[in-house]
Amino acid sequence: MISIIGAGPIGCYSAYKLALEGYKVNIYDSKGIIGKPIQCTGLLTSQASKLVHIDNDYILNKISVARLHAPNGKYIDIDMKKENIVIDRAIFDKNLAELAQSQGVKIFLKHKFENFSNGKAKINNEIIKPEWLIGADGPNSQVAKCSSLFTNRKLLIGSQVRAEMKIEDQKIMDIYLGNGCFSWSVPESEKISRLGVVSYEHSNNLLQKLVRENNAKILEHQGGLIPLYNPKQKLRNKNVLLVGDAATQVKPTTFGGIVPGLLAAREIKYLENYEKKCNKIIKKDLVIGLKIRKAMDKFNNKDYNELVNIFSTGKPKEIIETHDRDFPSKFILKLMLAKPKLLKFAWKAYWA
Ligand SMILES: Cc1cc2nc3c(=O)[nH]c(=O)nc-3n(C[C@H](O)[C@H](O)[C@H](O)COP(=O)(O)OP(=O)(O)OC[C@H]3O[C@@H](n4cnc5c(N)ncnc54)[C@H](O)[C@@H]3O)c2cc1C
C-alpha cells in the first residue's frame, strides 16, 4: 500500500500515475473539500495541457498578451505565441482527484497526517504502516518535517484577491516589476481579475496598494505560502518521497508550481529511482530559474527599467514571445547571445 499525504493536484496526479502501474494507493487530506480554499491564480502555460487533459468548461479565460510594466511607467506587450489559460483551480483539483479515483485510488478527507516514525504513520488517531509514504502536503510539509527532509527552506507569501475592476482587455495580463518580487493582474473575465503580489515580506501592504491603484472591489482573498526552490532539497529518505510544493518544486521566476509539480509526479512511479529520474527532468530549469530569481532579488528600479527597455524590440522580444517560461534552459543562452547587455544582469546572478 502506498499512502499519499495531500489531495492537491500533485498528490492526486501522483496517485493516478502509481495506480496506472498497478499499485494500491490511498490519499489522506486534512481538508473537508478538495480544491478549497483556493490559493492560486490558476494561470497555466500550454505545457500543462500536454501533461493532463484540461476541460474547456473550467477554462475561464485565455491570455495572449503579457504586459510587462517597468517601475517608470513604461511597458511592453509580449505577444505569447502559445496562449496561457486561466482555470478554475477548484474544479481542476477535483477533476484530478476523480481521475485518480477512476483508477481505484481511495481518498480520505478530514484525515490529518500527524507524524511518522519507525515506518508507522499517525493519521488522525489511526496508525498505518505504508510501504511508501509520499508527502504531497504543500509548502509546510509535515511529511518532510517528520522525515528529516524539510531542510531550511525559504517560504514566500503570495497575497491575492479576486476583484471587480475596470479591465481594458481580458486577453492581457499585467505584470508589475519592482513591486515585491513582482505583482500581477490576471483577468478571469471581462470584469473580474486576480490581483496578487509575491514577496518575501509585506506582501499584504503591497497588495493593498495594487488594489487601490486599480480602484478594485475585493470579492475574495486567496493568498498562501510559496516555497522557494532549494536545489539541495532531498526528495527521498528511505521509503518516504516528496513531490510538488512539499519538495519546493516551484518555478523560482514566476512561482508557478503546477507544471513542475506535474512533471515531477509523472516520475513518481519509479519509487526508489524517483529522485534521480525527477531531477533529470526538472532540476536544470529550476536551478536556472533560481539564479534568475536571485539576480532579480538584487534589482533596483533602474535595472527593471533597463530590462523592460531591452525586451521592447528585436531579437530578445521575439525569443521570449516564442518560448514557454517553464524551460529557461531552452532560451537563456539565445537571449545572452542576442543581447550581450543582458550579461550585466547575469553577473548579478553569478554573485547571487
Ligand atoms: C497566491 C498564489 C498564486 C499562485 N498562482 C499559481 C499559478 O497561477 N500557476 C501555478 O502553476 N501555480 C501557482 N501557485 C502555486 C500553486 O498553487 C502550487 O504550486 C500548487 O498548489 C502545488 O500543488 P501541491 O499539490 O503540491 O500542493 P497543495 O496544492 O498545497 O496541496 C497540498 C494538500 O496537502 C494537504 N495537507 C497539508 N498538510 C496536511 C496534513 N498534515 N495532513 C493531511 N493533509 C495535509 C492540504 O490540505 C492540501 O490539500 C500559486 C500559489 C499562490 C500562493
DSSP per-residue letters across 102-127: HTT-EEESS--EEEEETTEEEETTEE
pLDDT digits (tens, 9 = 90+) for 49-94: 999 999 999 999 999 999 999 999 999 999 998 999 999 999 999 9
Higher pLDDT, residue 146 or 151:
146
Structure confidence at residue 152 (pLDDT): 86
Q: At residue 64, what are phi and psi to the nearest 5 degrees?
A: -115, -10
Distance (Å) from CA 303 to ligand 1 centroid? 32
Structure confidence at residue 347 (pLDDT): 63
What's the CATH number where 158 sits?
Answer: 3.30.9.10
Which residues, in sequence order, are CB contacts of 73 under 8 Å at separation 6+?
none
pLDDT digits (tens, 9 = 90+) for 319-351: 888 887 788 787 777 777 777 777 777 666 555
The candidate with the shortest Cα–Cα distance to 257, out of 187, 156, 334, 345, is 156
Amino acid of residue 90: A
Structure confidence at residue 351 (pLDDT): 55
Structure confidence at residue 315 (pLDDT): 80
Which of the residue ranges 197-201, 250-254, 332-336 would you say has the lowest mean pLDDT?
Answer: 332-336
pLDDT-derived band at 43 (thresholds 50, 70, 90) equals very high
Which of the residue ranges 210-219, 254-263, 268-277, 296-305 would you say has the lowest mean pLDDT?
Answer: 296-305
Instruction: Please name the residue whose Cα sits nearest to atom 13 of ligand 1.
Output: 256
278-284 long-range contacts, Cβ below 8 Å, gap at least 24?
Answer: 278/235, 278/243, 279/235, 282/249, 283/231, 284/329
Which residue, chain included where needed, has cell 502536503? 137
Structure confidence at residue 93 (pLDDT): 98
Amino acid of residue 218: I
Atom of ligand 1 nearest to the CA of 136: 26
Structure confidence at residue 336 (pLDDT): 74
45 lines ligand 1 (CB under 6 A): no
9: preceding bond cis by omega (within 30 degrees): no
224 lines ligand 1 (CB under 6 A): yes
**Residue 288 falls within a domain, yes or no?**
no
Residues spanned by the domain of 188: 43-88+154-226
How far apart are alpha carbons 239 and 132 in whole angstroms?
A: 5
Instruction: Please name the residue whose Cα sits nearest to atom 51 of ligand 1.
Output: 40
pLDDT-derived band at 298 (thresholds 50, 70, 90) equals confident
Pair 326, 48: CB distance under 8 Å? no
Given 190, 210, 226, the domain boundary residue is 226
Atom of ligand 1 nearest to the CA of 42: 8
The candidate with the shortest Cα–Cα distance to 118, out of 147, 94, 161, 87, is 147
**Residue 67 falls within a domain, yes or no?**
yes
66 lines ligand 1 (CB under 6 A): no
pTM of the model: 0.95
- Residue 51, exposed/middle/buried by CB under 10 A (0-12, 13-18, 19+)? middle
> Are 84 and 96 part of one and the same domain?
no
**Residue 115 falls within a domain, yes or no?**
yes
> Are 176 and 216 part of one and the same domain?
yes
Structure confidence at residue 348 (pLDDT): 64
Distance (Å) from CA 6 to ligand 1 centroid? 9
- Give the rounded percent of residues in the chain with a pLDDT score beyond 90: 82
16 lines ligand 1 (CB under 6 A): no
pLDDT-derived band at 229 (thresholds 50, 70, 90) equals very high
What's the CATH number where 118 sits?
Answer: 3.50.50.60
